[in-house]
């Protein structure tokens, strides 16, 4: 019994390493891939052999264990969970049933004149097809369930996927989904984060209202289709920096030994503010300036959080917002101000530069005090 289980796990580990080599993951990922494949395949073997569980249900349990393991091991070796669980799942794809599908189809075509054999092979074809599709579906579901058990991680993944789609296929549906995502994300911050997780704070209801208003603005934008999400390539470099910052927040919080809800994750207020500024900067031909004003106001609050609450991570938001404020409003003035405007566009631009310089100087003093402290 034990020998059979070990043999099954070892062969699965070898196969997973082979599949993993095709996708060229980092070398540090191979031991984890082999371990996950061995555990998952051996678990399915035990469930089917000794407990009589059907292959689809056994595959669901095995893939769930692989998904959970990839979450844990991925954090330890700094690898995305998909790099680990996809090669580990591949040995569990029912190749024998897939072979039987092709075989049944060929035999069905060769026996068109024999109704009895036709019926037999047709039944085999549908039976094996259902089993194969069921197992593959269960493997996918089981591996992704852990992702959605940790809702904050799920938020991040959905945001990344929608952002990629917005760049690659900016259809009306994708744009509406992104706005709906922003409504949901800001509502989650308002209701769940501030009213539940931060319910002990004296000012939590004020901040909940603040983010609730932003959610309502996005809802209005979704209904009216005010923001067209038209691509603007001029500020791509700054945009990519802003996209990276939400992932720096949890690293800095983790380095300081913080835990949720005190630590800053990718779906916390400041991270969401930075991401939203970057998103609108990338699609800044026409943006909802009301959202920008709220987010810029939140960025200025970040200065006080650095001083009062000793949260140095918020220097990321504050520093990123300075050039963003300038670029947003410069773009708006260039499109809407004319020569007869008083003050003229030229002087308005200089006023904007002076304002951003003042904020930048204040930011520099803040950073200096933090480093000196």
The residues of the chain scoring below 50 in pLDDT are 339, 341-342, 367, 370-371
Integer Cα distance of 114 and 123 in angstroms: 14
pLDDT digits (tens, 9 = 90+) for 78-134: 777 778 888 888 889 888 888 888 888 888 888 877 778 888 888 888 888 888 888
- Residue for token pair 């060929």: 106
pLDDT for res 337: 56
pLDDT for res 165: 86
Integer Cα distance of 227 and 220 in angstroms: 10
Domain parsing of the chain, residue ranges: 2-149, 151-372
pLDDT for res 42: 92
Alpha-helical segments (H) within the chain: 2-23, 30-50, 55-77, 81-89, 95-110, 115-149, 151-168, 172-188, 204-224, 236-255, 269-282, 289-308, 314-336, 345-372
Could you tell me the two tokens for 313?
A: 């991570």
pLDDT for res 367: 47
pLDDT for res 257: 62
pTM above 0.85, yes or no: no
pLDDT for res 341: 47
């Amino acid at each position: 019994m034990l020998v059979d289980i070990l043999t099954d796990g070892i062969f699965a580990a070898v196969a997973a390493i082979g599949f993993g080599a095709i996708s060229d993951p980092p070398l540090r990922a191979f031991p984890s891939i082999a371990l996950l494949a061995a555990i998952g395949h051996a678990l399915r073997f035990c469930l089917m052999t000794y407990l009589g569980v059907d292959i689809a249900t056994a595959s669901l349990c095995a893939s769930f264990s692989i998904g959970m393991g990839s979450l844990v091991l991925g954090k330890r070796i700094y690898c995305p969970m998909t790099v680990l669980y996809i090669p580990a799942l591949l040995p569990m794809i029912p190749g024998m049933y897939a072979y039987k599908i092709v075989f049944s189809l060929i035999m069905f075509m060769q026996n068109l004149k024999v109704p009895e054999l036709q019926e037999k092979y047709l039944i085999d074809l549908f039976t094996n097809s259902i089993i194969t599709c069921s197992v593959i579906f269960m493997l996918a579901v089981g591996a992704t369930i852990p992702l959605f058990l940790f809702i904050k991680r799920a938020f991040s993944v959905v945001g990344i996927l929608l952002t990629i789609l917005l760049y690659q296929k900016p259809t009306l549906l994708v744009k509406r989904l992104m706005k709906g995502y922003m409504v949901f994300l800001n509502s989650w911050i308002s209701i769940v984060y501030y009213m539940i997780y931060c319910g002990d704070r004296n000012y939590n209801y004020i901040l909940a209202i603040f983010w609730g208003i932003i959610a309502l603005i996005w809802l209005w934008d979704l209904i009216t289709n005010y923001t067209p999400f038209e691509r603007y390539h001029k500020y791509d470099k700054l945009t990519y920096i802003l996209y990276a910052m939400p992932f720096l927040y949890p690293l800095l919080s983790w380095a300081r030994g913080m835990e949720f809800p005190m630590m800053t994750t990718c779906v916390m207020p400041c991270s969401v503010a930075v991401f939203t500024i970057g998103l609108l900067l990338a699609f800044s031909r026409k943006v909802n300036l009301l959202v920008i004003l709220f987010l810029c106001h939140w960025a200025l609050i970040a200065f006080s959080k650095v001083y009062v609450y000793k949260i140095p991570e918020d220097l990321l938001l504050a520093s990123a917002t300075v050039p963003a404020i300038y670029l947003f409003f410069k773009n708006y003035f260039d499109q809407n101000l004319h020569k007869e405007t008083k003050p003229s566009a030229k002087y308005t631009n200089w006023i904007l530069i002076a304002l951003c310089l003042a904020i930048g100087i204040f930011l520099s003093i803040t950073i200096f005090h933090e480093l000196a402290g």
